[in-house]
Amino acid sequence: MDLRNGSRQSNELQFHCDLARVQSRAVSGLMRQVSAEAVASPGCAITLHALIKTYDAELNCFALRLSGERRILSLNSARLHVNSFLFFTADDTQALDHDGLVELYYTAYKVIMGTKATYPGKSSGPDYANWSKLLAAFIILKISRSCLASRVDLRAGEKAYFATILEFRESSLGNDDLCARGAMVLGQLWSSTRVFRRPDGVVDGLALRIRSRLSMGIVHDCFWWWREEFQGKANPYNAQRKPASEGTSLFHLSDAVALGSNSAATPGQEILNEMDVLRDLTGLTGLTMPEDLVFAI
């Protein structure tokens, strides 16, 4: 037995275990902060922002232990999920972190390109990597359709976004499986002129309507925008949140269209609504959540 090889494997496993523990603790702490009770308290967004930065600084300490593409991808993915909570602060102009969101845009780019390098060809990688890649693509879409579009490299983001579409198509085993439908949703939302458009005609990609799924709320939010436009389903979520970027949004369209029902959904109803979305995407009557996604979503 090669003891040196065993030691390398042990170090690799230890790195990922340590990283997973920090990420799990971070998501648990952020989850408590964005709970229904915390959201109602004054200064919640400012406190949430401080927590995000604290946990992100702790994750950045792992940079000293980076070696190889897999570790780099794992760290970038962990930072992606933690910093995705910045979208939860978009309702509070005092807490809205433009610089942090710009950095998140480039982290999303790194996750997509890193996944492509780590799992080349038609290898789709583990479920966690695929969901992280999907989250990264939607983050690029949301920020590129916001007041921050002028501060990011739109061409690089578009390259990563369409790389995700291509990878999902290559990983697809049929015309109607999850990868094929994911590629379709990504493509249609990119070309949409209605996505993230409020009733007043302002396109606000920083706004987040679904807040019951933690970092993956961004993915479910985009799924609902797609479902509303391309399937004609009424939006069950409250569209009357305070604008995330009032007066500084990227677009203002005069032909505004109402965003469906304005009634707020209860947490239980949100889960049922999200399961409906996933059934539309997968064609399944029931879903089992992968174990490696539990702490992330």
- Residues 221-266: pLDDT tens digits? 999 999 999 988 887 765 545 444 443 333 333 222 222 233 344 4
Please give the single-letter amino acid code of residue 9: Q
Whether the per-residue pLDDT at 186 is higher than 60: the answer is yes
Average of per-residue pLDDT values in the chain: 79
Residue 287 reports pLDDT greater than 60: no
The two most distant CA atoms of the chain are separated, in Å, by: 71
CA-to-CA distance for 247 and 275, rounded, in angstroms? Answer: 35
Closest CA to 34 of 84, 94, 85, 103: 85
Q: What are phi and psi of 251, to 5 degrees?
A: -130, 160
* Residue 67 pLDDT grade (very low, low, confident, very high; cuts 50, 70, 90): confident
The confidence score (pLDDT) of residue 249 equals 38
Do the beta carbons of residue 176 and residue 283 sit within 8 Å? yes
Distance CA 284, CA 275 (A): 10
Greater confidence (273 vs 162) lies with 162
Cα 123–128–134 angle (5° rounding)? 80
**pLDDT tens digit string along 9-42?**
688 899 999 999 999 999 999 998 887 545 556 6
Query: Does residue 134 surpass a pLDDT of 90?
Result: yes
Tokens 């590129």 appear where? Answer: 144
At residue 17, the 3 state secondary structure works out as helix
Length of the chain: 297
Note every long-range contact of 29-37, with CB atoms under 8 Å and residues 24 or more positions apart, other chains counting.
Answer: 29/55, 30/55, 30/82, 30/85, 30/214, 31/214, 34/85, 34/88, 34/211, 34/214, 36/267
Average the pLDDT over each of 44-58, 124-138, 193-207, 244-258 and give the range with the smallest value.
244-258
Write phi, then psi, for 213 (nearest 5 degrees). -120, 20
Domain range list for the chain? 3-293
Q: What is the pTM of this model?
A: 0.78
Contact 291, 126 (CB under 8 A): no
CB-CB contact of 131 with 216 (8 Å): yes
